Structure 1
């Protein structure tokens, strides 16, 4: 429990991450390019608090066409100077990505890294989300990359931060 045994309480800003907590059915597509066909994506995303509720663990388990992809990501701790949540993800291909998440007053999330960025919109009822992703090869020209939708699974039992 936060606060037990002199453990510092989580930042109040962490409560905003509760909107993500749970297990989600994920599906989407990576757009075709002149050299690559469209790729279908289907699987699940799970968000749960690490003990202490300073970090949110995000697990991805999807199929991208015939390829099985697993990712684990740590979100947090909240950085008051930049008003963002650092994100560090690691996948089963041996790759890692760092990004920053922020949320506006309307609850729209932005994830931004050096070569990719996304806008995530959570439905008012909290039961679904959509994400639009972009990529850049040169740091200035962004192209549409991926569309994802998420539906919260009814058996979602991850406990939110108080």
Structure 2
């Protein structure tokens, strides 16, 4: 990846995200969570997501529907390569009105999303049919668990 200023088409290393997935795990956070009780308020997380390449092959789109023990939590993702920096990114758009931009990096089977308010580590199994996902957030200047889940490829 260079910084040529030209958009880069479909980085094949991102193909690992493609397809249909189901996930289960635990979501944390809320008023009872603290550094003394980082896993307080744990509720069951269930979600499904599907990822595909957008027309033209420059951006990957992912649509996620989650049921974290309360109101539906839908997120639309866009992944790609910034033509100015040559770095991979992921942008999220949530049904609660929030949008985030993350730097996306890869080290072998481990992908990291780094943002100002949240961060995640996604570890793919060797056969790329399972994702172990760990999200953290920084509500008061220190990182706390946000969500731990495992996604399994359906297709």
Q: When the two structures are superposed, what TM-score results if normalisation uses the length of structure 1?
A: 0.78
Aligned to 1:107: 109
How many positions carry a matched residue from both structures?
A: 142
- Contact 2:8–2:83 (Cα < 8 Å) also in 1: no
Q: Does residue 1:26 correspond to 2:29, yes or no?
A: no
Aligned to 1:158: none
The match for 2:69 among 65, 84, 92 is 65
Q: Give, in whole Å, the separation in 2 of the partners of 1:133 and 1:46.
A: 19
CA RMSD of aligned residues (A): 2.1
Aligned to 1:54: 58
Unpaired runs of 5+ in structure 2? Answer: 1-6, 34-40
Unpaired runs of 5+ in structure 1? Answer: 1-7, 155-162
Q: Give, in whole Å, the separation in 2 of the partners of 1:39 and 1:88.
A: 25
Q: When the two structures are superposed, what TM-score results if normalisation uses the length of structure 2?
A: 0.82
Q: Deviations over 1:46-78 (max 9, x none)?
A: 111001111000111111113111111111125
1:23 deviates by 0.6
Pairing of 1:82-161 with structure 2 (within 5 A): 84-104=87-107, 106-139=108-141, 141-154=142-155
Q: Give, in whole Å, the separation in 1 of the partners of 2:112 and 2:123.
A: 9
1:107 deviates by 2.4
- Contact 2:8–2:81 (Cα < 8 Å) also in 1: no
